[in-house]
Chain A
Amino acid sequence: MLPRFWRKIKYRYDLVGSYCENCQSFFYPPRNLCPHCRRRSKIKEVPFNGKGKVLSYTVVHDAPEEYKDEKPYVIALIELENGVKVLSQLVCDPKEVEIGMEVKKAFRKYGEDGASGIIYYGTKFVPASHF
């Protein structure tokens, strides 16, 4: 678990995705190869600005044990400004969320390996109206 998380830190702490210079497509999580261009892929890593809007969402009431203290929580399908779609926790009151709502990235805790294990951090989203 620890090395697996560590290898992806860069892409979880911030929205660092990939971009194909050949067909101008963006990907997140980043891809090593463009599925459209294949051998003509020209992939490079780029940071995304982290602004987007809610395409759809669901509210989780029956949460796994480690997320019990956050329920009910919102999982949203978010479309970023560059067209990339990201599935993420949206930290807000479930009564607040609606389709089309503007959101922005936020740096939050994902969880931890118990009281003596490591803490997992990463990107979630919050309503754009939250400062």
Chain B
Amino acid sequence: MKVGIVSYGTYIPIYRIKVEEIARVWGESAEAIKSGLGIYQKSVPDVDEDTATISVEAAREAVYRANIDPKDIGAIYVGSESHPYAVKPTATIVGEALGVGNDFFSADLEFACKAGTAGMQMCIGFVKSGMIRYGLAIGADTSQSKPGDALEYSAAAGGAAFVIGKDPIAVIEETYSFTSDTPDFWRRELQPYPSHGGRFTGLPAYFRHVTSAARGLMEKTGLNAQDFDYAVFHQPNAKFPVRVAKMLGFTNEQIKPGLLVPYIGNTYSGSSILGLAAILDVAKPGDRILLVSFGSGAGSDAFSIIVTDTIENFERNPSVWDKIEKGVFIDYGMYLKHRGKIRM
């Protein structure tokens, strides 16, 4: 039984702020930050946008493209670290807005930046077991960053939604996860902004988990880097995914279509799956894609995905890159207002 991605949809808020603008306010060198992080600008949500609105917009596009009755969706999982409510699931809002009815499995997920791929795995299990026909997995964030912190250059907003089911446009042939207790990034209860372990987020966190998940998946499937046409890794900045690709034997050409972080920043739970959507926008039948997410705390989910003939009749416009190019630039004052950082 072939289970995989039946449809996908994405949403990136239209506003952008440039690294130069943030660096100007904090008296830092924009050039040093751009060459250090490989990020030039990031997406910013509107004042009336949050993780629920981004999730609904991405999910609406996915359901519209799938051309399915929303009532056939049997599960909704929303992964985020910026759910609008601490207690009250975003998934309930998504289900109501889509007209799914009341007959569906649901919960909100949180695993830093990998909660969206965790939702995909849950939906794969539900569909394979025959408990549901379609599952909707969403990863979306309006990520938080303390003013003046290094995170402010990257913490962005956006999301992607995937309808998981049978007769897919891309079969998920295998998935593998690698998890450990690694405190590289966290946010305590009632704290408005997350904290991080600085350089500790690199080697023991991102690189260890991403490489272990990718290698675990390749061992399980007997595949190596050359067997994949494309690869997409979690993108906290542009340097990490490029370096991890090299460590695993992937070329820059394999990761280029899915490397979005220089132009929209790190969309957290949306990051690696927006990259996957950008690759699906251009993929051809038979192409094999490696997806590896990373969530601080820490864990990585790896997927081997094979594109099917069904993608040829699938609506893929507007593409993720079309949405990235649509930006409207704002200054730091407007950015603070959009992010609710001005105390009144």
Contacts and interface: CB of A to CB of B under 8 A. Distances in A.
Interface stretch (A18-26, A27-35, A76-84, A104-112): A104-112
Interface string B22-34: 0000000000000
B50 A131 contact: no
Contacts of A9: 96
B157 to A, nearest CB: 13
Contacts of B56: 13, 107
B287 to A, nearest CB: 25
B318 interface: yes
B97 A14 contact: yes
A84 to B, nearest CB: 18
Contacts of B49: 108-109
Q: How large is the interface on A (under 10, 10 to 19, 20 to 34, 35 or more residues)?
A: 20 to 34
B93 interface: yes
Nearest to A49: B64
B99 A109 contact: no
A131 B318 contact: yes
A124 interface: yes
A107 B53 contact: yes
A47 B99 contact: yes
Given A70-B47, A119-B84, A130-B326, A108 B99 contact: no
B219 interface: no
Interface string B233-253: 000000000000000000000
Given A108-B53, A130-B326, A121 B46 contact: no
A70 B326 CA distance: 21
A117 to B, nearest CB: 11
Given A121-B93, A130-B14, A108 B48 contact: yes
Contacts of A130: 14, 326
Contacts of B328: 93
B14 A13 contact: no
Interface in A56-70: 69-70
Interface of B: 12, 14, 46-50, 52-53, 56-57, 60, 84-85, 93, 96-99, 318, 322-323, 326, 328, 337
7 contacts: A13-B97, A16-B99, A107-B97, A108-B48, A110-B48, A119-B85, A131-B326
Given A13-B96, A69-B337, A109-B53, 7 more contacts: A70-B48, A106-B57, A107-B52, A108-B49, A119-B84, A121-B53, A131-B322
